[in-house]
Chain A
Amino acid sequence: MKRIKVIIFFLVWALLSIPAADGGQTELRILYVNDFHGFAEPHQPVGAVEPLGGVAYLAGKVDRLRRGRPTLLLAGGDMTQGNNWANFFKGASSIELMNAMKFDALVVGNHEFDYGVGVLKKRISQARFPVLGANVQGLSAVKPYVIKKFPGLRVAIIGVVTQDTPVTTHPRNVVGLKFLNPDDTVAGYLEKLKNQADIFIVLTHLGHPVDRMMAVKVKGIDVIVGGHSHTKVMKPAVAGNTLVVQAWEHAKALGVLDLTIQDRKIVKYDGYLEEIKPVPGGENPAVQKIVAKYEGQLDRLVNVAIGEAEVDLDGQHVRTRETNLGNLITDIIRETTGATAAIINGGGIRTGIPKGVVKIKDVYTALPFDNYLVSLRLTGREIREALEHGVSSLGEPAGRFPQVSGLRFTYSLSAPAGSRVREVIIGGGPLDPVKEYAVATHDFLIAGGDGYKVFSRAINTDNHGHLGGLLKSDRIIYNDASRWLRDVVIQYIQTNKKITARVEGRIQEIL
């Protein structure tokens, strides 16, 4: 009996190992998603006329498209971070549903590193599929490639992630890791694996423009399945001799690429995106159960008490005057970033937090936006310009009205906009127009949100760029896209338990 089992094993092994015979054609269907970011439930994006997505419906579509043919299901990264459904569980929810959907491979996206290397290792240990990243050095759990075998066909899948990863997450999240040049890395593995596979797929998290450049530069790639740029590639793009695909974002689409392969070459292909809509009956029940399980846990978690507010925290008047909640939040920003001062727009605070028990949902309601912390060097003149902009639209509430920490200033409403700011005290002394100060804010203002052009102009004149994969910057001091401001505030409240804040004359109107 044992001998028969051994013979059967070797027969199956031999069958799977035989390359496609000359003249014979083999078929392969590649299904792919990218940049899921934990959007498990159907949702209606800005400007859309109906709800889209719903990962249970996507899984149902995968089931139907898999039937009766050799298929690969691939993920182009950023599956475990973004939406609360993923964030509250540090990506464990995403891995559980990917296991249920029987993914064949995932390339790490830059956001897979956002919870730190320790959490990433744990997620990889939970995954029942290989997690790829050939250009990531220092993390052995991440594999460079996987070879999948079908009758008469061997498919190599090589994974690479953006070299910008160390600057798109906090440095603490990538300690000890190196991110090598993706093109060189892929070229090396193509050479190494040339006799071990018939078809070469590169699973990337680089962005569609970079995928196209790689396709032209690195010879020998048959298909690039990409992510990172959230691009809706309706039909496969052809760059050089390579097919380049990507399936939008947030489980709103499933990519389908059908290949006919002969003599180790793709001789025919057809590809398209299936838009995912929550059509009743179209869902995969097992995946729906996982979605619901974590939704239920999420509902409970946001109602967990994290501390106590000893006073009412005013989020109502943040667009017209200094408030204690504005002071608390900017103090937390300043403390977290180590900056001399912090300036945010009052409009970023949407409601107050009443005296008493503080729950996670209270902070989420007060700070609903996905903003992250940045600090940069600004001259005294630029700080004054920012404050001038903040008080330039008085008379009616304005989102641009500033909330500040580490500085105090007076302004006169009777003066014209642009010359209202009078005395500014920062770091215990008067503002020096030519001296540089570390000023913290968030990404919305850095990009020029609420009309704060001074921040975007500062980075425009900055000598920023890359040096050995790291951000070289004269102006940027702190940049942590891996944590939202509200999560920083939650952590502060959890640590300090009892919170209080008062209005203390940081922003004063004078005649």
Chain B
Amino acid sequence: MQVYVNGHPVALLVGMTVKHALIAAGVLEELASGKQVFDEWGQEIGLAGALTAEMKIFVR
């Protein structure tokens, strides 16, 4: 399964979560500074949230 983190594609197994996507993109640590994760509609999503193939998420 491929998803996009800040526009960059990352490969994950089906069933992996937002946390795995951020690890794969190397941006998980950015959350400690208060950044949050959003979906393509600008809605916040939790780290344990399920992903859908080709989903676009953003850390900001």
Closest-by-CB residue of A relative to B55 is A209
Q: State the CA gap A210–B51 with chains docked (Å).
A: 10
Q: A232-B43, A443-B20, A447-B20 are in contact. Are A476 and B13 (CB under 8 A)?
A: yes
For chain A, give the interface size range: 35 or more
> Taking beta carbons and an 8 Å cutoff, which residues of B are in contact with A?
1-2, 10-16, 18, 20-21, 23-24, 26, 31-36, 39, 41, 43-52, 55
Q: List 15 A-B contacts (CB under 8 A).
A: A35-B48, A35-B49, A167-B14, A207-B51, A209-B39, A210-B52, A231-B45, A248-B44, A250-B46, A443-B20, A447-B12, A447-B23, A448-B26, A456-B11, A481-B15
Contact with A164, one of B2, B14, B31 (Cβ below 8 angstroms):
B14
B26: which A residues are within 8 A, CB to CB?
448
A284: which B residues are within 8 A, CB to CB?
none
B43 touches A456 (CB 8 A): no
A237 touches B35 (CB 8 A): no
Min C-beta distance of A435 to chain B, whole Å: 23
Closest-by-CB residue of B relative to A248 is B46
Min C-beta distance of B52 to chain A, whole Å: 5
B14: which A residues are within 8 A, CB to CB?
164, 167-168, 464, 466, 471
B15 touches A230 (CB 8 A): no
Closest-by-CB residue of A relative to B48 is A230
Tell me which of B11, B39, B50, B52 has the highest count of chain A C-beta atoms within 10 A of its own C-beta.
B50
B32: which A residues are within 8 A, CB to CB?
46-47
A168 touches B49 (CB 8 A): no
B52 touches A207 (CB 8 A): yes
Q: State the CA gap A162–B47 with chains docked (Å).
A: 18
Q: A47-B35, A233-B43 are in contact. Are A249 and B49 (CB under 8 A)?
A: yes
B36: which A residues are within 8 A, CB to CB?
47
Q: Which residues 417-455 in A have Cβ within 8 Å of B in the complex?
A: 443-444, 446-449
Min C-beta distance of A183 to chain B, whole Å: 14
Q: State the CA gap A433–B43 with chains docked (Å).
A: 46
Min C-beta distance of B30 to chain A, whole Å: 9
B47: which A residues are within 8 A, CB to CB?
46, 230
Closest-by-CB residue of A relative to B44 is A232
Q: State the CA gap A459–B43 with chains docked (Å).
A: 29
| Further pairs besides A232-B44, A448-B26: 19, Cβ < 8 Å | A37-B48, A164-B14, A168-B14, A208-B43, A229-B49, A230-B46, A230-B50, A232-B43, A248-B44, A249-B49, A443-B16, A443-B20, A447-B16, A447-B24, A448-B23, A449-B23, A456-B10, A466-B14, A479-B15
Min C-beta distance of B54 to chain A, whole Å: 9
Task: Render A146-179 as a binary contact track against B, CB cut-off 8 A, 1 for contact.
Answer: 0000000000000000101001100000000000
Q: State the CA gap A232–B49 with chains docked (Å).
A: 11
Min C-beta distance of B34 to chain A, whole Å: 5
Say whether chain B's binding surface is mostly helix, strand, loop, or mixed.
loop
A168 touches B15 (CB 8 A): yes
Q: State the CA gap A35–B47 with chains docked (Å).
A: 12
B49: which A residues are within 8 A, CB to CB?
35, 207, 228-231, 249
B13 touches A230 (CB 8 A): no
Contact with A249, one of B35, B43, B48, B55 (Cβ below 8 angstroms):
B48
A230 touches B45 (CB 8 A): yes
Q: A207-B50, A447-B20 are in contact. Are A231 and B43 (CB under 8 A)?
A: yes
A218 interfacial contact with B, CB 8 Å: no
A464: which B residues are within 8 A, CB to CB?
1, 13-14
Min C-beta distance of B46 to chain A, whole Å: 3
A233: which B residues are within 8 A, CB to CB?
43
A91 interfacial contact with B, CB 8 Å: no
Q: State the CA gap A456–B11 with chains docked (Å).
A: 6
A47 touches B13 (CB 8 A): no
Q: State the CA gap A237–B40 with chains docked (Å).
A: 13
Min C-beta distance of B60 to chain A, whole Å: 12
Closest-by-CB residue of A relative to B29 is A46
A202: which B residues are within 8 A, CB to CB?
none
Min C-beta distance of A179 to chain B, whole Å: 13
A234 interfacial contact with B, CB 8 Å: yes
Q: State the CA gap A374–B21 with chains docked (Å).
A: 16
Closest-by-CB residue of B relative to A252 is B46
B18: which A residues are within 8 A, CB to CB?
230
Q: State the CA gap A444–B22 with chains docked (Å).
A: 11
Min C-beta distance of A63 to chain B, whole Å: 25
A35: which B residues are within 8 A, CB to CB?
46, 48-49
